[in-house]
């Protein structure tokens, strides 16, 4: 019952339109390590968001120069990309 009320509250908070000019985050820490996170991204201007889908096993790089860290992704992911430059949000198929 408490989880249902908390989830309803989180959804309500995230759906209310206000004049606040900042991002808002709500985190619920539940039993068995369960985490639920909701947030808003209240930007003044459109950041021209595009969605990208990355498969597992993709070769990746930090792209900050010749000594950037490199890795191979363990899980697939979906990201929101701002200005086609950086990841503003995203989620993986599974944990870390």
What amino acid positions are annotated as catalytic residues? 23
CA 48 to CA 68: how far, in whole Å? 27
Backbone angles phi, psi at 24, to 5 degrees: -125, 140
Angstrom distance (rounded) from CA 76 to CA 47: 24
Residue the block writes with tokens 């860290």: 69
Helix (H/G/I), strand (E/B), else coil: 46: coil
First to last CA, the chain: 30
């Amino acid at each position: 019952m408490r989880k249902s009320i908390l989830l309803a509250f989180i959804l309500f908070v995230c759906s209310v339109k206000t004049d606040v000019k900042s991002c808002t985050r709500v985190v619920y820490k539940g039993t068995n390590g369960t985490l639920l996170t909701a947030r808003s991204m209240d930007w003044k201007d459109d950041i021209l968001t595009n969605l990208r889908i990355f498969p597992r096993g993709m070769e990746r790089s930090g792209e900050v120069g010749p000594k950037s860290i490199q890795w191979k992704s363990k899980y697939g992911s979906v990201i929101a990309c701002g200005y086609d430059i950086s990841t503003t949000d995203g989620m993986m198929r599974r944990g870390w």
